[in-house]
Structure 1
Amino acid sequence: MPAETDCQDCRLRCRPLFVPMTADEIAFMRRFKSGEASAPAGTEILSQGQKSPVLQTVLSGMAVRSVLLEDGRRQVISFVFPGDLVGLHSGLMGEARHSVTAVSDMVLCTFPRGKVWELFSTQPSRAYDLTWIAAVEEHFLGETVATLGQRDARERVAWALVRIWRRLVALGMEDGGSVPFPFRQQDLADALGLSIVHTNRRIVALRQAGLVEITGRRLVMHDHVRLSRIAQLDMDKDDVRPIL
């Protein structure tokens, strides 16, 4: 079993994507953290309708957040990347309103839900960061709604691939023009409100246009600028964000 990562040595914390933490904040997070959990691909980390005793920050690996309807249909509401927080709704509202399922092997830092009040009462800057994380999730869901309502199928697929590409590049996961892509085409289809056949056709068309391709569980970017234009996304860098 690998040794747990000390907050002082966290490789994510030093990425330019994340807001730097002060020495006092790092010391608090070392006390706040209760351990680490491993989750093999396919594990349901958080189950819709159930309570969770912990909040978790993804240290490595990826997952999908999804809502399951009563008739079994699934809506993927977001993709989960290193640095993301899992279990916030369960931690504050008593039960999870969605599920989180690992699509690759994952390691997660765990924080006891019972200590969340200590964070708010003794670490106002960290509490603000938690609020900021919730606001970012709300903003992304708003962008997703706009995508489902206003972008056509080609634009939706381009939007999702650009968003994933930019996030993983910001995390330092780009290698030779490609990033890891453990998601299935069904995951993309369920996120974008498309059939898997339609999703596959749009991906093939984008590949034939020389823009992007998915091969060997890698997302290969050939023309980020053109794909961003199709997705109707500007070229600004993502804002830096806090990490818990």
Structure 2
Amino acid sequence: MSLVLPSSGRRVPCEQCPLRAMPSFRAFEPAELRFVSSFKTGELVAETGTTLMAEGAHSAHLYTLLSGWAFRYKSLPDGRRQILNYMLPGDLVGLQGSVIGEMQHSVEALSPLVLCVFQRNRLDELFRNHPGLGFDITWLAAQEERMLDEHLLSLGRRTAMERAAYLIAFLHQRAESVGLAPSRSLYIPITQMHVADTLGLSIVHTNKTLRKLAERKMIRWLDRACEVLDVEGLMELADWDGLPERTRPLI
């Protein structure tokens, strides 16, 4: 895996950002849009498997995922890892490093992706002069905590099949909210190893569990992707009501 550095060029002006047109995201005030446009220094393009941030490192930047999929994880000294959460377009990446100074997790590209790059040293200016944007960042951090609470509940109390059903339904709903699955089947770009590292199961147990979901016609497992066939069935199996429908901030 390689660690990438941001490019300095700007390909998508904030005023023309395709995410801003989606109903999932709240609209900027004119002054907020002007600040975010100046806050952005460029874009980062990364291929699948690229390490965007490394645990223990200091990051000079903050990112918003513009397109693609990524995931956050922590590792043990022997290389075993736990995937903590997945990132989709509109998600803020690297806030922990920008506030605390040192990353406590790593971030890897799950697919080819593009990220907007922001200047970490202007974060205090954002909070001082644009309290609405400061609240947005706080909201995003709280939302991440809420999702982690759901994941921990799943790991601690659901069966292996229920865990897998919850994970796939969760990813489907998150992708649907940003227009990745409007009226067709969704292909989630994960391998069985990603699922195993998320659910805390062995690869053998994971394989058996996913096969049972496939036998129920809820998913179809491909080489490096999972096709979701019955998201309602997955939600019912996991006894999960789904994500609340609400507009959310976009930095």
Distance 1:180 1:42 in 2: 18
Is the contact between residue 173 and residue 180 of structure 1 (CA under 8 Å) also seen in structure 2? no
Change (3 A) 1:143 1:36: same
Tell whether 2:30 aligns with 1:14: no
Is there any run of 5+ residues in structure 2 with no aligned partner, and where?
A: 1-6
Secondary structure of the 1:50 match is: coil
Q: Deviation of residue 176 (structure 1)?
A: 5.6
Partner of 1:93: 100
Structure 1 contact 180–217 (Cα < 8 Å) conserved: no
Question: Which residue is equivalent to 1:64?
Answer: 71
Written as runs of structure 1 = structure 2, the 5 A alignment for 1:138-149 is 138-149=145-156
Q: Is the counterpart of residue 234 in structure 1 residue 222 in structure 2?
A: no
**What is the number of residues matched between the two proteins?**
244
How far residue 201 of structure 1 moved from its aligned partner, in angstroms, is 1.3
In structure 1, the residue matched to 2:59 is 52
**How far apart, in 2, do the equivalents of 1:216 and 1:178 lie?**
16
Residue by residue, what CA displacement relative to the aligned partner does 1:130-174 show, whole Å, maximum 9, x if unpaired? Answer: 000110111111111111100110000000000111111111112
Contact 2:190 2:226 in 1 (8 A): no
Which residue is equivalent to 1:201? Answer: 208
Identity over aligned residues, as a percent?
38
Give a deviation string over 1:197-225, Cα, whole Å, max 9, x none.
11121111111111222336454333222
For residues 228 and 187 of structure 2, the distance between their equivalents in structure 1, rounded to whole angstroms, comes to 11
**Residue 42 (1) aligns with residue 49 (2):** yes
Preserved contact between residue 10 and residue 41 of structure 2 (Cα < 8 Å): no
Aligned to 2:3: none
- State yes or no: 1:174 paired with 2:181: yes
Q: Which residue of 2 aligns with 1:119?
A: 126
What's the Cα RMSD here? 1.7
Which residue of 1 is the match for residue 109 of structure 2?
Answer: 102
2-side partners of 1:219 and 1:7: how far apart? Answer: 32
TM-score (normalizing by structure 1): 0.94
The residue matched to 1:8 in structure 2 has which SS? Answer: helix
The CA deviation at 1:243 is: 1.2
Kept in 2, the 8 Å contact 1:67–1:74? The answer is: yes
Alpha-carbon distance between aligned partners in 2 of 1:240 and 1:232, rounded to the nearest angstrom: 24
* 8 A contact 2:72–2:105 mirrored in 1: yes
Give the AA of the match of 1:151.
Answer: R
| Distance apart, 1:226 and its partner CA | 1.8
- Alignment-derived partner of residue 130 in structure 1: 137
- Deviations along 1:55-78, one digit per CA (max 9) or x if unpaired, are 000001111110011222111101
* 2:202 alignment partner AA: S
Q: Structure 1: where are the runs of 5+ without partners?
A: none
